[in-house]
Amino acid sequence: MSTSTSTLVTGQKANVQLRERRSPLASFGLHATLVVASVVAVFPVLWVLLTSLKPAKYATTTDFVRETTFENYTRLIGDTPFLTWFGNSLLIAGLSTVIGVFVSATTGYAISRFRFPGKRGLMWTLLITQMFPVAVLIVPIYNIMAKLGLLNQPMGLVITYLTISVPFCAWMMKGFFDGIPQEIDESGQVDGLTPFGTFWRLILPLAKPGIAVTAFYSFITAWGEVAYASAFLVGDENMTLAGGLQKFVNQYSSQWGPMAAASVLIAIPAGVVFVFAQKHLVSGMTAGATKG
């Protein structure tokens, strides 16, 4: 870690110096920095992938590839309710994403376009909501969910995840809508569209990059959440991957092979969402971050 740090710093100095006309040495420095940083970024995940393909007895060897096999995967799927957990996670994360994107988009649009009483209060609330520690909320939310009968139900977790992702996403969407010219809204109204119609038919399609980022963020948040998931869901058939794997870790703490296989399978849906979202990530975030 520390070596890569120093490389980064020197690399950056070098390239600032030679902005347009870059010497071969500076080019080399830039590429070297990026390569080191990329390796650090990718390696831990890649290592898990490689480990999952080794036979369990070789899991902790330093060889990159050794007798490639899928036995870890078959064992995982055969011996544990992995697929059930996976399905639960997919359902919960999918619902959180769809509802989260829709709700953040409407909220973001409202605070971007309209002035209404309570707007500033709402904007502050959205910021402050992000400060709420899980620990102070988890017990009371648990009680509410118990009263509403949503404990051990996917919907309970979906609602909880909305409170985590929507405040940030709504800010981001607001920034994004701020960048879409007013004239488009006006033309919609001239054509007789209701405000909802304008939003739905004209603005939303233009906000695709923002939506991509919001969807990515909501999905990742829900897919990887641990604290609520392990507190609210009990019983093998209801758990999500996060909760299930916690159990798994405790049970087979030394079984790195199957754990690695599980990690790879978990990372795949997130990776798919990422591939769809990634080209919009920078433009979408910009709008959100600058205006947010």
Partner 1 sequence: MAAADTGRPVATAAGGDTPARGRSRATGRETTTGTAPGKAPGRLRRSFSTHWYAWTMVAPVVVVIGVIIGYPLVRGVYLSLTNANERNVERSIGVNQLPATYEFVGLDNYKDALTGDQFLATLGWTVLWTVACVSITFALGLALANILNRKIAGRAFYRMLLVLPWAVPGFVSVFAWRFLYNQDNGLLNKLLAGGGIDAVPWLNDPTWAKFAVISVNVWLGIPFMMVALLGGLQSIPGELYEAAEMDGASPWQRFRHITMPGLRPVSTTVVLLSTIWTFNMFPVIFLLTRGGPGEATQILVTQAYKFSFEISPRDFAQSSTWGVLILVLLMLFAAVYRRVLRKQGDVW
The interface with partner 1 within residues 31-70 (CB under 8 A) comprises 31, 33-34, 37-38, 40-42, 44-45, 47-48, 51, 59-60, 62
Q: CB-based burial of residue 269 (10 Å sphere; 0-12 exposed, 13-18 middle, 19+ buried)?
A: middle
**Residue 116 binding partner 1, by CB under 8 A:** yes
Q: Which of residues 230-259 bind partner 1 (CB under 8 A)?
A: 231, 241-242, 245, 249, 256, 259
Q: Phi and psi dihedrals of 186, rounded to 5?
A: -65, -45
**Is 25 or 128 the residue whose CB approaches partner 1 more closely?**
128
- How far apart (Å, rounded) are the C-alpha atoms in residues 113 and 281? 23
Per-residue burial over 192-218, b = 16 or more CB atoms within 10 Å of its CB, e = otherwise: ebeeeebbbebbbeebebbbbbbbbbb
Q: How far is the CB of 217 from partner 1 (least distance, A)?
A: 9
Residue 92 gets the label, from left (phi > 0), alpha (psi -120 to 50) or beta, of: alpha
Could you tell me which of 29, 48, 47, 26 has the C-alpha nearest to residue 37?
29
Q: Which of 153, 206, 220, 252 binds partner 1 (CB under 8 A)?
A: 220
Using CB under 8 A as the binding criterion, the count of chain residues that bind partner 1 stands at: 115
**Residue 111 binding partner 1, by CB under 8 A:** yes
**Is 84 or 283 the residue whose CB approaches partner 1 more closely?**
283
**Is 169 or 238 the residue whose CB approaches partner 1 more closely?**
169
**Residue 211 binding partner 1, by CB under 8 A:** no
Q: Two tokens at 237?
A: 């058939």
Q: Which of 67, 74, 130, 149 binds partner 1 (CB under 8 A)?
A: 130
Q: Which stretch binds partner 1 (CB under 8 A): 71-79, 80-88, 121-129, 200-208?
A: 121-129
Q: Is the dihedral of CA 121, 122, 128, 129 positive or negative?
A: positive
